[in-house]
């Protein structure tokens, strides 16, 4: 074979082998491999602590606002059904608790609004009047539900708020 034909054949062989490699390189993964995200450290720990204190203060304020301040020398006038003291230990959704308390009082329960996807969890323990238990459940529900006790119609209304 002539040297110029051998050179031409060598160039074509190299080109034929290199071309598919170059073309397939374009199909290679060009994005870096994702690494597991590590949780970010708190940006401002003192600010986080202050926000927690504010949340606690708001809860305390809600409890104080819900408290019944009786007139001097007299206790609040409650119907006998709500003045009844019952021992209860409950941690769970508000609706079954309110149903149980309503049954103890001999009242009917009406639930209004759309039940939230995540239950409103309430914790009660000890021996208190039904009135106090209803009030504490309402305080713990916060802005997610309203609880109304009507002694005249002997009904309790649990109204879910929001969407």
pLDDT in tens, 140-149: 998 899 999 9
DSSP string, the chain: --HHHHHHHHHHHHHHHHHHHHHHHTTS--SPPP-PPPPPPPS-HHHHHHHHHHHHHHHHHHHHHHS--PPTT------HHHH-EEEEEEEEEHHHHHHHHHHHHT-EEEEESPPPSS--EEEEEEEEEHHHHHHHHHHHHGGGEEEEEETTTTEEEEEE---
Q: If we measure between CA atoms, which residue out of 87, 75, 95, 83 comes closest to residue 151?
A: 83
Task: Tell me the residue range of the domain where 138 lies.
Answer: 87-163
Asked if residue 99 belongs to a domain, the reply is yes
Higher pLDDT: 2 or 77? It is 77
Asked if residue 9 belongs to a domain, the reply is no
Pairing of β 155-160 and β 108-112: parallel
Domain count within the chain: 1
Asked if residue 25 belongs to a domain, the reply is no
The CATH number for 99's domain is 3.55.50.60
Is a pLDDT exceeding 90 seen at residue 134? Answer: yes
Higher pLDDT: 158 or 56? It is 158
Is a pLDDT exceeding 50 seen at residue 139? Answer: yes
Asked if residue 81 belongs to a domain, the reply is no
């Amino acid at each position: 074979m002539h040297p110029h034909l051998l050179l031409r054949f060598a160039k074509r062989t190299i080109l034929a082998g290199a071309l598919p490699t170059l073309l397939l390189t374009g199909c290679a993964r060009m994005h870096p491999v994702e690494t597991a995200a590590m949780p970010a450290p708190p940006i401002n720990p003192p600010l986080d602590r202050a926000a927690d204190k504010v949340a606690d203060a708001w809860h305390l304020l809600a409890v104080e606002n819900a408290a019944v301040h009786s007139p001097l020398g007299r206790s609040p006038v409650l119907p006998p059904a709500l003045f009844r003291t019952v021992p209860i230990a409950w941690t769970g959704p508000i609706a079954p608790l309110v149903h149980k308390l309503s049954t103890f009082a001999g009242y009917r329960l009406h639930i209004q609004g759309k039940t939230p996807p995540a239950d409103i969890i309430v914790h009660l323990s000890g021996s208190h009047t039904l009135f106090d238990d209803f009030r504490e459940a309402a305080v713990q529900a916060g802005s997610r539900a309203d609880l109304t006790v009507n002694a005249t119609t002997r009904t309790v209304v649990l109204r879910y708020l929001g969407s």
